[in-house]
Amino acid sequence: MTKKALILGITGQDGSYLLDFLLKKKYEVHGLIRKSATGNTKNIDHFINNNKLFNKSFFLHRGDLLDSVSLNNVIQKVQPDEIYNFADQDHVGWSYEIPTYSFQTTALSVIEILEILKNIKKKIKYFQPLSSNIFGLSLEQKQDESSVLNPNSIYSLAKATAYLACKMYTRIYNLPIYGAIFYNHESPKRSKDYVSKKIVQTVCEIYHKKKKNIFLGDIKAKIDWGYAKDYAESSWKIMQQKKPDFFIIATGEVNSVEYFVKNCFSYVGLNYKKYLKIDKKLLRPSKTSVLRGDITKAKKVFKYKAKTKLKDLIKIMMDHELKKYNE
């Protein structure tokens, strides 16, 4: 019997990678897109334009995370076996500027979904992605699933709230809620608002003489960087476990922003020191610590492995960006 999955946030980086993966697994995939959404489907347009898939094994529904009625209607109509929630306000920097909206879309919307699942007859598996930012100013060299939550932004506070809500609904209502604490994961699908994509895009512009410099904030910040495609696939693997649980998904290795910049410039034969400018206005208002994921549990339970090294990820992103200049 064909499994049905509902992906919230299907047009984003993680949701679109998961869509591709689940279709290859022969799922019937349904996606939720905002009622007001226009022109934001570029990550899934090739699926929408595929007559063999669209409205046959892949379907889209209009709705909104902050509209519990539309959410309930879609879930009741689709009756999915699995729900993956990749829809939220997922940018730490923005959460300082729009704190209330960030908390509503990232935390309160999760409670709305869990309330729907609590009151529906069918036992639907639910996946909630979280962020390593929930550990905030961590004193540990590596964080695991038992590490103390210490959020240091509205975004991380909202993610921590969603995490605790999921734990509570599993404990009290016996809901099959799964999840992952994702560390930074990048891809060509990232928007330019993220430092990884900003670096890749700007380096290519400098290489093609469209810009003279790149402006960054804290280049000494160390990050556990992985490939979003790998992390999206791990979501499915987590959902196939018999017991609901949460897992750290990371590489276990950290590299500085400066290292990322250096390797992007080196890829096109340039010395980054000639072009890099530090702009203090780009520094975040709160301090951060080095967040490095301990993937021991995921390795043990479902043989998780971080497949893509950072240099390989940089190559994937740079090749994709440079290709635009040849089109």
* Whole-Å CA distances, 142 to 123, 133, 145, 254, 289: 35, 13, 10, 10, 11
**pLDDT of 206-249, one tens digit each?**
999 999 999 999 999 999 999 999 999 999 999 999 999 999 99
> Looking at residues 26-31, what average pLDDT do you find?
98
Superfamily (CATH H level) for 4-185+225-249: NAD(P)-binding Rossmann-like Domain (3.40.50.720)
Q: What is the DSSP string of 226-248?
A: EEHHHHHHHHHHHHTSSS--EEE
- Predicted local confidence at residue 39, as pLDDT: 55
- Predicted local confidence at residue 114, as pLDDT: 98
Q: Do domains 4-185+225-249 and 192-223+254-290+308-326 have the same CATH topology?
A: no
- Give the H or E element holding residue 101: helix 99-103
Indicate the average pLDDT of the chain.
Answer: 93
Confidence of residue 192 (pLDDT cuts 50, 70, 90): confident
- Predicted local confidence at residue 84, as pLDDT: 98
CA dihedral 17, 20, 21, 25 (to 10 degrees): 160
pLDDT > 70 in the chain, percent:
94
CATH level 3 topology of 192-223+254-290+308-326: UDP-galactose 4-epimerase; domain 1 (3.90.25)
pTM over the 0.85 mark: yes
Residues of the chain by 3-state class (helix, strand, coil), percent to 5: 45, 15, 40
> Looking at residues 108-115, what average pLDDT do you find?
96
- Predicted local confidence at residue 96, as pLDDT: 61
- Predicted local confidence at residue 296, as pLDDT: 98
**pLDDT of 129-145, one tens digit each?**
999 999 998 889 999 99
Residue 115 has pLDDT above 60, yes or no: yes
Residue 56 has pLDDT above 60, yes or no: yes
Tokens of 103: 């908390």
- Predicted local confidence at residue 36, as pLDDT: 59
Give me the residue spans of the domains in the chain: 4-185+225-249, 192-223+254-290+308-326
- Predicted local confidence at residue 64, as pLDDT: 87
Tokens of 77: 């109509």
**pLDDT of 60-109, one tens digit each?**
999 888 889 999 999 999 999 999 999 876 656 555 667 888 889 899 99
